[in-house]
Chain A
Amino acid sequence: MEERTEEGKYSNLILSLKVFFSNRTAVAGMVIFLAYVVDALIMQFDPRLLGVTNPNQFTYNFVNPVPQPPSSQYPLGTTYPGINLLQAILEAIRVDLGYSMLIVVGGAVIGAVVGILAAYVGGYLDELLMRFTDIFFSVPYLVLAIAVGFALGRSFTSMVIALIIVWWPIYARYTRSLTLSIKESVFVEAAKAAGASMVRIMFKHILPNTLPPVVVQISLDLGSVVGVFATLAFIGFIPNANTPELGYLASLGLNYVQSAPWTVIFPGLAITLFALSVNLMGDGLRDVIDPRRRS
Chain B
Amino acid sequence: MISIKLWVYVLRRILILIPTLIGLTLLVFVLVHIQGNNLILAEYINPRLTGQARELEIQRLTQEFHLDQPVYVQYFYWLGQVLTGNLGYTNTPIYSGPVTTAITLFLPNTVVLSLFAALLIWLIGIPLGVFSAVNRDSPADQGIRVFSFTLYSMPIYLIAIALILLLGVYLNVLPFSGEVSPQMVAGLSWFRDGISYPTHVLLIDAILHGDYAVAWNAFLHLIMPSLTLALAVMAGIIRILRASMLEVLEQDYIRLARAKGVPERVVNNLHARRNAMLPVVTSFGYTVAGLLGGVVVVESVFDFPGIGYWTTQALLNNDIGGIMASTLLFGIVLVLTTLILDLVYAVVDPRIRY
CB distance from A169 to the nearest CB of B (A): 11
Give CA–CA (A144, B29) in the complex, Å.
11
Instruction: Decide if A218 is an interface residue (CB 8 Å cutoff).
Output: no
Contacts of B153 in A (CB 8 A): 223, 227, 272-273, 275-276, 279
Contacts of A144 in B (CB 8 A): 28, 327
Instruction: Decide if A139 is an interface residue (CB 8 Å cutoff).
Output: yes
Give CA–CA (A142, B155) in the complex, Å.
13
Q: Of the candidates B35, B150, B335, which one forms a contact with A272 in the assembled complex, judged by CB atoms under 8 Å apart?
A: B150
Q: Is the Cβ of A151 less than 8 Å from the Cβ of B157?
A: no
Q: Of the candidates B35, B154, B162, B300, which one forms a contact with A235 in the assembled complex, judged by CB atoms under 8 Å apart?
A: B300
Q: Of the candidates A143, A228, A264, A276, which one forms a contact with B150 in the assembled complex, judged by CB atoms under 8 Å apart?
A: A276
Contacts of A280 in B (CB 8 A): 149
Q: Of the candidates A143, A148, A265, which one forms a contact with B161 in the assembled complex, judged by CB atoms under 8 Å apart?
A: A265
Stretch at the interface among A39-47, A63-71, A74-82, A128-136: A128-136
Contacts of B31 in A (CB 8 A): 147-148, 150-151
Interface size class of A (residues with CB under 8 A): 35 or more
Chain B residues numbered 119-151 whose CB sits less than 8 Å from any CB in chain A? 149-150
Q: Is the Cβ of A247 less than 8 Å from the Cβ of B149?
A: no
Q: Is the Cβ of B315 less than 8 Å from the Cβ of A139?
A: no
CB distance from A36 to the nearest CB of B (A): 13
Instruction: Decide if B165 is an interface residue (CB 8 Å cutoff).
Output: yes
Instruction: Decide if B331 is an interface residue (CB 8 Å cutoff).
Output: yes
B 261-299 to A, binary, CB cutoff 8 A, 1 in contact else 0: 000000000000000000000000000010011001100
Nearest B-chain residue to A165, judged by Cβ: B27
A 219-244 to B, binary, CB cutoff 8 A, 1 in contact else 0: 00001000110110011100100000
New A-B pairs, 15, CB < 8 Å, besides A138-B331, A149-B315, A234-B157: A138-B334, A138-B335, A141-B289, A143-B311, A143-B330, A148-B31, A150-B320, A151-B32, A231-B156, A235-B296, A268-B157, A271-B155, A271-B158, A275-B154, A279-B153
Complex A-B: 10 CB contacts under 8 Å = A135-B24, A138-B331, A140-B330, A142-B297, A142-B311, A147-B31, A150-B315, A151-B34, A235-B157, A250-B161
Residues of B within 8 A of A (CB): 16, 19-21, 23-24, 27-28, 31-32, 34-35, 149-150, 152-158, 161-162, 164-165, 169, 289, 292-293, 296-297, 300, 311-312, 314-316, 318, 320, 323, 326-327, 330-331, 334-335, 338
